[in-house]
Amino acid sequence: MEKPYFETVKSFADVPVDIDGDGILTADFLEASDGLVGMFDLLGSAIFGFVQMDLKNNIRDVRAHYQSSTDRHNTVQAMVPGWQGKGALVRLVRGLSFTCVALQNAQNDRTKELHYCFKGSYDTVLRHHHSFMIRSVVYVALRAVPYRKDFYDKIAQGAPHDKLDADLRLWLDGLDTIVTRLSRFLKDGGHGTV
């Protein structure tokens, strides 16, 4: 039996969110974000291809900026001032928020199929950023989201579902804290709206 997916990657619950009042550690944030992208690989569904590609591209851009000066960009918040490519961070936080809200919806209503959870998340987080044409494509694609049971079986990887639920709850709480803080930071600083 393999470990549940959330035990094999950096958890958002383990990402320090306030180092001496300076913010979220960039390296830990990026490692946890990579783990989220890997979760979509387990699902094997093309539906998440657009989300996964967007997340990967934005993680790559944020990581490149971080690596250009790791001492000055130790926290995510320290990376933003003067950075011309901060749109990548805004889009990354949007993608993280989309995933967080969808999985929170799934955890909060265990009878709801995942395509409804992801559709609700899309309507809340991303819809207003997309044109009518993109929204139409997304709505059709969301119908291909895996069934709830299949999704949970894949990320549990043979472990008991109660263990998965506990790990997922911690992971989502950590992700929600990070998304909320970064969204507020970006908006209040005039850097972009998630």
CATH of the domain at 122: 1.10.3520.10
Global pTM reads 0.91
Structural domain includes residue 73: yes
Domain containing 88: what range? Answer: 21-187
CA pseudo-torsion sign 147, 143, 41, 52: negative
Structural domain includes residue 14: no
CB environment 117-133: b (16+ within 10 A), e (fewer)? bbbbbbeebbeeeeeee
Structural domain includes residue 4: no
Domain count of the fold of the chain: 1
For 89, residues 6+ apart whose C-beta sits below 8 A from its C-beta are: 58, 62, 76, 79, 80, 83, 182, 186, 191, 192
User: What is the rounded distance in angstroms from the CA atom of residue 156 to the CA atom of residue 7?
Assistant: 10
Any bridge partners for residue 94, and if so which?
A: none
- Tens of pLDDT along the chain (194 residues) come to 577 787 889 999 999 987 666 699 999 999 999 999 988 877 666 667 777 888 999 999 999 999 998 888 899 999 999 899 899 999 999 999 998 999 999 999 989 998 899 888 888 987 788 788 877 887 787 787 888 888 888 888 888 888 888 888 999 999 999 999 999 999 999 999 99
Structural domain includes residue 193: no
Of the candidates 8, 159, 29, the one whose C-alpha atom is nearest the C-alpha of residue 92 is 29
